[in-house]
Amino acid sequence: MPGAFNSIGYFCSLVPVEIITAAGLKPLRVKGKAETTAAADAYLYPNMCPYIKSLFADAMDGGGSACDGVVFTRSCDGMRRLYDAWKAYVPNDFVYMLEAPKNCDDLAVEYFASQLRVFALQLGRKSGVEIKEHSLAEAVKTANHTRRMMQELYSRQKKSPLPVSGSELFKLGLEVLSGNGQDSAGRLQSVYDNVKKQAASGRGRKKPRILASGNVMDRPGLFEIIEAAGAEVPVADLCTAARYFERIVDEDAHDIYSALAAAYLGEPRCSRTATPAEIYARLSKKVKEYAIDGVLLTSLKYCDQVLNDIPYLVKQFTEAGTPVLFVENDYLFKDSGRLRTRVEAFIETLEN
Amino acid sequence: MLKKYYEEMKSGLEADYLHKPRAWTRMNIQLASTFVEAYKENAKVVWTSFYSFPMELLAAFDVVPFDFEIATNLLPMFDADKAVEIMNRAEEDGYSTDICSFHRLAVGCCSLGYMPEADLMLTSSYYCDGKAKANQSLAEHYGKKSISLDVPNEISKESVDYVAGQLRRIAVKLEEVTGQVFDLNRLRECIRVSNRARRAYGQLADLQKVTPYPYIGVPVVNMSIFGNKLAGKEIQEQILLDMVKESREKIMKGNMVPEKYRVAWLAWYPTQPTNITRIFRENGVSVVMGELARNWWGELDEELPFESLALWSLKNPYVGTIEQRLKGINEIIDGYKLDGVVHFSTDACRHSCAAQKLIGDALKKRDVPYLVLDGDMSDKRKYSPDRTQLLLENFIGVMAGRK
């Protein structure tokens, strides 16, 4: 049914957008737009993460129909239950649960590849476009190209002063993820070209450099608070920032589905599959690479996966002599006053 | 400190058993004995999830299984204030109060050095993210590797192969830890034993359909959580057959507590002292079946031991979509002449509690009263006896109005 089925929404970085693109559909990373989650409270448990509640509140308000179909993964317990509720209460024609393993070894990759094949088959049936290997290979190349450009931009953030502000780069990444097609590709190219032309001035007051790390974030609130307080964010290890763009799929692999599975389950991994020690190893490497002065860890409230990692990470950074701050966030950044006070105090300690 | 509690628990239960030999007491002796064993110097201790890991595989090795959730969360039964003190320690270490009290208590016990050391730290990707992450944190503390049996949400040849493949690798890990060579015939024997226990359990589950219900209190719910510790061991069948015998005797003698209302219990029963049992007893409410106490798993195939253990994991009511869970709840409604369903809602249990609306809607369609009873499994700061009394009395009133 050409014209009737155009876009697929997804909620987690584990969904290979390449498969959606190869089916001739537009992948959209879904944002919870609802400014209040009250509509979700009647359906979902109150102690659910605010991202999930915002997504559901928006969907109940008609936002769910912004996409012609949605793909869930077994990201967390909350997402599993959101899938159940979405199927029951949101009028979406195509609601799919993509089984993504919580391990990342060869067995998990093999199983995930089998699930990606099933997903491609189902999506192809729904869209009326059979997903062929060559179109998938093309989609992999395109997605890799975008990711490499974003990687290059992040890599240049190792300089001081930053070629692009942290908030601008974060917003650019969100544009790419939100699937605005030509618009976002054009804007990415333009920023990329400008940055490549820039020579490092090496001038300007040295600002405290903050590494932000956490789960999903699709509002620049935290970045703006940090920057307004006189610091900068060269790199952000978030589901919707540098961590997403670091993944490259092997274009020369014998089996494209296995390559996708290996890439999406592989590094960099989030708290869902990585141990706190593995996360610390990755973040501490970034601290060195980006000459970071302080680490700001953040988590959505009620996120069991990240919250359980926080004590270990705080302890390790503290023992390593790296200043660290942990702040919970409500996804919508409605509590920005309190957040601002804590972030400002943290940055002040870095400046001193 | 915990070791002392387990030793006291074990000796107390053994004294009770001498005085009054009951199957339920024997089951609890088994639990306490395991925890005492875990502290012995030469014990090969495998941390695991009694309720979600296929214990038959562990029974095929000479290991002492230890479930850090169940072990540490027995503490509030003895000393709820001490449990809060230990949770405070975890909170001081940075563990949010939004994390389940079961895991805060375990982490606190670990920080204070109360736990037995593990030779292997196994868990499963279900029931919850919290346990899998807590296992990782505890593994970091002890300098061990955390191993998670990942169980997908769908049942297919691929998912069975995936889980079975992981179980085979875990068998290799168990070989490394114990120095024993994996014996396929021993695993097959464990599976035969487990199947016999399952048949005994089936008899018990059928007897629970009798009105009035022959077993008092909530053993059936608790047994579904920790009873699987004995899977693959002869004693499991013996205890279950004793329970069947005791139930039959009670039925024959008509020696049962008068019963006004029959309810099913969803999710877990609190380990801290509560007023729930007293309110139920005073009002003639029997908990006749638990969501996980249903005989939900099929016969295991000894010819395909790893695959059948994989299937056991995949069929768990807490794995999969809500349909799998609702199917089980509907089977309980159909089989047990219920007056109502109580869903205990411990506030950090997102995977269970998040389905309340869906379960409520499904029960409404079947015209079965449904109560979401909020509280906490083991944190007394988050449990209100007054609120519990109010909610339960209102619910009993609803059930009374329908008689």
Tell me, what's the pLDDT at A180?
66
pLDDT digits (tens, 9 = 90+) for A3-60: 578 999 999 999 999 999 999 999 999 988 777 788 888 899 889 999 999 999 999 8
Specify the CATH number for the domain of residue A150. 3.40.50.11900
CA distances from B201 to A285, B240, B296 (A): 54, 6, 11
CA B350 to CA B344: how far, in whole Å?
A: 12
Q: Whole-model pTM above 0.90?
A: yes
CA B121 to CA B177: how far, in whole Å?
A: 11
- Indicate the DSSP class of residue B217: S
The burial class, CB within 10 Å (0-12 / 13-18 / 19+), for B216 is middle
Lowest mean pLDDT among A186-200, A271-285, B76-90: A186-200
Residue with tokens 């002063």: A161
Which value does ipTM take for this structure? 0.95
Show the low-confidence residues of chain B (pLDDT under 70): 216-218
Tell me, what's the pLDDT at B154?
95
Q: How many domains does chain A have?
A: 2
Together in a domain, A76 and A172:
no
- Judged against a pLDDT cut of 60, whether residue A202 lies above it is answered with no
Together in a domain, A50 and A120:
yes
pLDDT digits (tens, 9 = 90+) for A95-109: 999 999 999 999 999
CB contacts of A275 in chain B (<8 Å) are: 136, 139-140, 146
Tell me, what's the pLDDT at B257?
79
Residue A155 touches chain B, beta carbons under 8 Å: no
Chain A interface test: which of B162, B168, B325, B343 (most A C-beta within 10 Å): B162
pLDDT digits (tens, 9 = 90+) for A294-350: 999 999 999 999 999 999 999 999 999 999 999 999 998 877 888 999 999 999 999
Rg of chain B over CA atoms, in angstroms?
A: 20
Mean pLDDT value across residues A81-105: 94
Mean pLDDT value across residues A271-299: 97
Together in a domain, A108 and A227:
no
User: A 73-102 residues with CB below 8 A of B?
Assistant: 74, 76-78, 80-85, 87-88, 97, 99, 101-102
What angle (nearest 5°) sits at the alpha carbon of residue A286, between those of residues A285 and A288?
70
Tell me, what's the pLDDT at B217?
57
Together in a domain, A124 and A146:
no
Q: Is residue A76 part of a domain?
A: yes
Q: Is residue A122 part of a domain?
A: yes
Together in a domain, A71 and A99:
yes
Q: Is residue A1 part of a domain?
A: no
By the 8 A CB rule, do A153 and A194 touch? Answer: no
Q: Is residue A2 part of a domain?
A: no
Where on the phi/psi map is residue A333: left (φ > 0), alpha (ψ -120 to 50), or beta? left
Asked if B350 lies within 8 A of A301 by C-beta distance, the reply is: no
Mean pLDDT value across residues A165-178: 94
Q: Is residue A264 part of a domain?
A: yes
Instruction: Out of A131, A162, A196, pick the residue that ends a domain.
Output: A131
CA distances from A143 to A98, A243, A291 (A): 20, 15, 29
Locate B396 and state its tokens.
């009993």
Specify the CATH number for the domain of residue A69. 3.40.50.11890
Together in a domain, A241 and A189:
yes
Chain-centroid distance, C-alpha A206:
29
Go through B131-147 and write b for each residue having 16 or more CB atoms within 10 A of its CB, e for each that does not.
bbbbbbbbbbeeebebb
CB contacts of B361 in chain A (<8 Å) are: 88
Tell me, what's the pLDDT at A2?
44
Q: Is residue A73 part of a domain?
A: yes
Domains of chain B: 2-171 (3.40.50.11890), 185-401 (3.40.50.11900)
Locate A176 and state its tokens.
């790419």
Together in a domain, A92 and A238:
no
CA B225 to CA B223: how far, in whole Å?
A: 5
Together in a domain, A119 and A17:
yes
Together in a domain, A182 and A44:
no
CB contacts of B319 in chain A (<8 Å) are: none
Tell me, what's the pLDDT at A1?
43
Instruction: Out of A102, A131, A160, pick the residue that ends a domain.
Output: A131
CB contacts of A99 in chain B (<8 Å) are: 152-154, 159
pLDDT digits (tens, 9 = 90+) for B319-364: 999 999 999 999 999 999 999 999 999 989 998 888 999 999 999 9
A189 vs A108, more confident: A108
* φ, ψ at B47 (rounded to 5°): -75, 135
Asked if A308 lies within 8 A of B134 by C-beta distance, the reply is: yes
Residue B99 touches chain A, beta carbons under 8 Å: yes
Locate B77 and state its tokens.
């039964």
Together in a domain, A211 and A102:
no
**For residue A227, what are the domain limits?**
135-351
